[in-house]
Structure 1
């Protein structure tokens, strides 16, 4: 990843999103750029236009925390965007060794104790890495994401599924929202570990094969999430509305476990009971299955 280009694209994209009204400044006459001008961001951040222009060109090396904080306030960055800016500054300073890196020395395999833990959970549970590879799941998790497991030629990956598999348009009733969230997660991952070759390769593949992905990747949106509600349409049991909780695995750097749960006595709870029955009697929800 070209750090200066990333900084430039990120800051200009954030500047374009803030209107003068949102920033509390007069709009003035005809404006040639969307959002704020550099001079307006500089004024809001309390620095010279020349200095801010230098930073926006990607020269973040040596920038103090107070300057980054001023830029974040001026651009009204949320927590995910602020963290992304700080990581870009760390990379510019050559302090990327302080960033959390994905292990790359050998192919990752699920520890037996982790799989036992997943299997002990009665709700759908999965483990993913920053590249959104689906690395492990319990029986109900595999059944829920049977479409993602359907391609035997690749490690199951939510990016490839979302943008390259037609089943995703059915599985995600609000496909645009799911696609936006997926790309924001990958963009965040690129900031956490800018040297992850696997992520570079995935982004290159998706950018080449999907206009929808390439457009979203260029927006430079990032996000932090750990809880919420997602909706799905499963090919066997129909609509699912599931709350989820995600947590990082302390023993496995860069991996996140997500557990899904239905509201008690809801239609989704009944659908999960049906899904569990289907999972226990069907073989086509296994990782090696290739049919739908």
Structure 2
């Protein structure tokens, strides 16, 4: 059985053309990308050891090996961070003491106070699973009519992959789907998520599972939305990590004057106030 670490290394190896690394073309191959021999040579490890890592038979490679593989694959800084994270969780899950706990849903009072100070701005508190734990009235006005906040426990990941309206609301739906799938790997309890295995995965199907297995580090560019009222919005995102809570405070800012004017119009529509979802 493979591991997140092994799957990521294999996916990156398959996506790299040998000539991009200055390696000679070796003729017709049965599979695309970089051969194990080439990667092992560049990383200074044996092919047999690389095979064990990719297949999940070695789950505790040293930091030196992880860094050597990152160099050999010419990973970007964000990809290197993800590789180190996958190495950590792969090793942790080998431990008999590993007991992943669900992330807390309670939002600290000081964080809620911060949200109030951001009104009428657009902001949410969320976690890596996509749970919307609290939001400003400004966020509610921007998402009104989309169905995102219609449930008692709104979840961005579920919405993106299972609600047809999401494909219209998020102009760059594929990019947003990549982001939501990638963030599941950063969740502290991925292995024991009943909702992921019993509810989300069957409904989302290959749109989700394919992205989980690819481990594509998302670009997280300008967020483009098409509001049901006919407004096209372009938003910048600033994220404040709340590591003690395994949560994030995300603030959305208009990327241009047209968006700012559209948001002002949406604010004038009836909408709710700050809401914390327990």
Query: Quick check: TM above 0.5?
Result: yes
The answer as to whether partners of 1:148 and 1:157 remain within 8 angstroms in 2 is: no
Compared with structure 1, are the counterparts of its residues 232 and 102 closer, same or farther at alpha carbon in structure 2 (3 Å cutoff)?
A: farther
The match for 1:202 is 196
The match for 2:212 is 217
Residue 150 of structure 1 and its aligned partner are, at CA, apart by 4.0
The match for 2:78 is 80
The match for 2:113 is 116
The 10-residue stretch of structure 1 (70-79 or 30-39) with the greater mean CA deviation from structure 2 = 70-79
Whole-Å Cα distance in 1 between the matches of residues 45 and 16 of structure 2? 18
- Say which SS state the counterpart of residue 216 (structure 1) adopts: helix
Alignment of 1:5-16 (within 5 A): 5-16=3-14
Whole-Å Cα distance in 1 between the matches of residues 46 and 81 of structure 2? 24
Matched, 1:238 2:231: yes
Q: Deviations over 1:128-163 (max 9, x none)?
A: 1010111111110122233354432x5111111111
The match for 2:150 is 151
The answer as to whether partners of 2:5 and 2:90 remain within 8 angstroms in 1 is: no
Whole-Å Cα distance in 2 between the matches of residues 256 and 56 of structure 1? 32
Compared with structure 1, are the counterparts of its residues 149 and 249 closer, same or farther at alpha carbon in structure 2 (3 Å cutoff)?
A: same
The answer as to whether partners of 1:45 and 1:74 remain within 8 angstroms in 2 is: yes
Alignment of 1:84-233 (within 5 A): 84-94=82-92, 104=102, 108-121=105-118, 122-146=120-144, 147-152=146-151, 155-187=153-185, 189-190=186-187, 193-194=188-189, 197-198=192-193, 201-202=195-196, 204-211=198-205, 212-223=207-218, 228-233=221-226
The one of 20, 36, 39 aligned to 1:38: 36
The 10-residue stretch of structure 1 (200-209 or 49-58) with the greater mean CA deviation from structure 2 = 200-209
How many residues are matched? 270
- Say which SS state the counterpart of residue 68 (structure 1) adopts: helix
The match for 2:250 is 258
Whole-Å Cα distance in 1 between the matches of residues 7 and 203 of structure 2? 22
The answer as to whether partners of 1:41 and 1:74 remain within 8 angstroms in 2 is: yes
Q: Aligned-pair RMSD on alpha carbons?
A: 2.9
The match for 2:47 is 49
Compared with structure 1, are the counterparts of its residues 262 and 90 closer, same or farther at alpha carbon in structure 2 (3 Å cutoff)?
A: closer
Structure 1 residues not aligned, in runs of 5+ = none
Whole-Å Cα distance in 2 between the matches of residues 238 and 84 of structure 1? 36
